[in-house]
Amino acid sequence: MRLKRKIDKYLIEWKKSKNKMPLIVKGARQIGKTESIKNFGLNNYKSLIEINFVLQPEYKDIFDKGFEIDRVIKDITLKNGNFQFIPGETLIFFDEIQDYPSCATALKAFREDGRFDIICSGSLMGINYEEIESNSVGNKIDYIMHSLDFEEYLWAKGYSNEQIEDLYQCMIKNEPLSKIQYDVMMENFQEYMIVGGMPLIVKTFVENKTYTGILEMQKQIILDYEEDITKYAGGLDKTKILNAYRKIPVFLGNENKKFQITKISSGARNREYVGVIEWLENAGIVNVCYCLEQVSLPLKGNYNPDNYRLYFGDPGLLIATLDEEAQLDLRRNKNFNTYKGAIYENIVADMLVKEGYNLYFYRDETGRLEMDFFVRDTNNLIPVEVKASDNSTISLNNLIDNDKYKEIRYGIKLCNKNIGFNGKFYTFPYFLTFLLNSFRKLAKSFEGLLIYIISIMSILSRSFCWPLSLPK
C-alpha cells in the first residue's frame, strides 16, 4: 500500500515547468520525503540516479574537484557503473544532503547545464540548512513537506476527492453536515489525533485497524528526533535544545500554555537559549505560535518574539508524551477534552501550518481577552477560537463587536459542533480545519461574497429575527 501525498501533484507540475530549477524538499525526518521522490522518479523518468550521502558516504567527494558536470558524472559512474545518465530523461536525487552540504553548491552548475532534473532532500536541521541555503541561493526552489495532513489521512482511509468536496460545499453554503457525514468524519478525526500523520504509522494503522504498536512507534520517532538534535545541532548547546524539546508537553498543560525558558531548568535565562527555538522550528519538529502585541495587521511585524507557545509538529507525538493513563483514556473513551484543551490546540496549530499559515495568538495583560489563532486574507484579520467544550465565546464576540478592531469582520469557532453562522462568526467542527484556507480564499472572491450573502440571508430567513447583526 502506497500513501497518496500532496507532493505527488506538485512534483508532476514541477517536471512540466519550463526553465525549472533544482528542487530541495525540506522537512523533518520520517515524513515520507524519500519515498515520495523515489516514487515520482521511477514513474516519470527512464533513469533514476539516487545517491544517499548517509548510507553511501563514498559519494561525499564527488564535488571536491569542482562542479564541472561531465567530470562529476564521470566520477559518479566510476563508483556505480549501472547508473545511466540520459539527457532529458534522468532524475538525479541527492538524499540526506545535510551530511554533504557542498552538494548545494553544485546546483547552479546543474541548472546551467540543463540536461538532468535535480531533487535534493534530507533532514535539514539548524545550521546545516543555513549552509545549504547560502550555497544554493538563487539556484533552487524549496518545497516544505510535513507529515500527512487530515486530507491525506482521509485518502489513506480510502475516501475520494468527491467525498471531501462534499464537506467543502457544505462549508461554503453554510449547510450543516448530515449526521452520517459528521459522525464518520469525527471518528476519523479522533483516530488521526491519536495516530498522527507519520506515514509508516498511518500505513500500519490503516492496514491493521488497531492501535497495537502505534505508541511504541511514536515514542521511537521522538527518540530519533532527539538523536538528530545531538547529531545536527552544530554550535548550539545540544542539552539546551533537548531541554526545550522535552518541556513542550509541560507548558502545554498550563493554563496560558506560554513557553517559559526561565522554568526549563534552574537558573535558565532567555539569552542563553538564543537560537534554540528557531533551530527546533527550522528542523520541522515544532510549530511556534507567537503572541501579537496588538490585534492588527500586519501579523509578521506585530508580534513579540519572546512570547510564544510551542506545539508538536505532528498531533500523534503529543499524545505519545502523555502518561499511560491519559493515553489509555484517549484510546478507550476518546476523552480529548482533558489536558486544558492542549490536544485540540496542538492539532489545530498543526493543521493550520500544513495549510500554509504562520501561527499567532493574543493574550492581554489581564488574561481577559485571549484568542488562540489568527489567519488573514488581503484586508481582513480573522480570529480563530478553539473550544474543547461548547462554552461561551466572550473573547471572540469582543473582538468582532469592538470598533477598535476594524480589520476583523467575522470570526471562526472550532469545536465539536456542526456547521453554522450566527451573524458574527462561523462554527466549524475541528476536522474541517484543513479546508479553512480554501474557504477563506473563496470568501474574498466575488463568487464567495455572493455565497456569503446568500448564507447570511438564509440564516435571517430561518431565524425570524430581523435585523440580525451582520459582520462589520
The pLDDT of residue 444:
60
Interatomic CA distance for residues 396 and 370, integer angstroms: 8
| pLDDT over 90 (residue 156) | yes
The pLDDT of residue 58:
96
The H helix count followed by the E strand count for the chain is 20, 14
The pLDDT of residue 446:
43
The DSSP call for residue 55 is: T
The pLDDT of residue 233:
79
> Is the Cβ–Cβ distance between 414 and 336 less than 8 Å?
no
The pLDDT of residue 468:
41
Interatomic CA distance for residues 312 and 280, integer angstroms: 10
Percent of the chain with pLDDT over 70: 89
Q: Work out the number of other CB atoms within 10 angstroms of the CB of residue 192.
A: 25
DSSP 95-140: E-GGG-THHHHTHHHHHHH-SSEEEEE----HHHHHHHHHHHTTS-
Give the pLDDT confidence of 62-102 residue by residue, as tens digits.
999 999 999 999 999 999 999 999 999 999 999 998 888 88
Give the pLDDT confidence of 9-49 residue by residue, as tens digits.
999 999 999 889 999 999 998 999 999 999 999 999 999 99
The pLDDT of residue 110:
95
Give the HSE-up count for residue 32: Cα atoms under 13 Å, Cβ half-sphere.
24
Q: Mean pLDDT throughout 285-302?
A: 92
**Cis, peptide link before residue 315, omega less than 30° from 0:** no
463, three cell numbers: 431565524
| pLDDT over 60 (residue 450) | no
pLDDT averaged over every residue in the chain:
88
Q: Domains plus CATH for the chain?
A: 6-144 (3.40.50.300), 152-463 (no CATH)
Chain centroid to Cα 103, Å, comes to 27
The pLDDT of residue 76:
97
| pLDDT over 90 (residue 365) | no
| pLDDT over 70 (residue 340) | no
Give the pLDDT confidence of 169-204 residue by residue, as tens digits.
999 999 999 999 999 999 999 999 999 999 999 999
Nearest to 65 by CA among 54, 55, 52, 78: 78
Q: Work out the number of other CB atoms within 10 angstroms of the CB of residue 271.
A: 6
Interatomic CA distance for residues 421 and 175, integer angstroms: 9
> Is the Cβ–Cβ distance between 199 and 30 less than 8 Å?
yes
Strand partners, 363: 370
Interatomic CA distance for residues 412 and 427, integer angstroms: 6
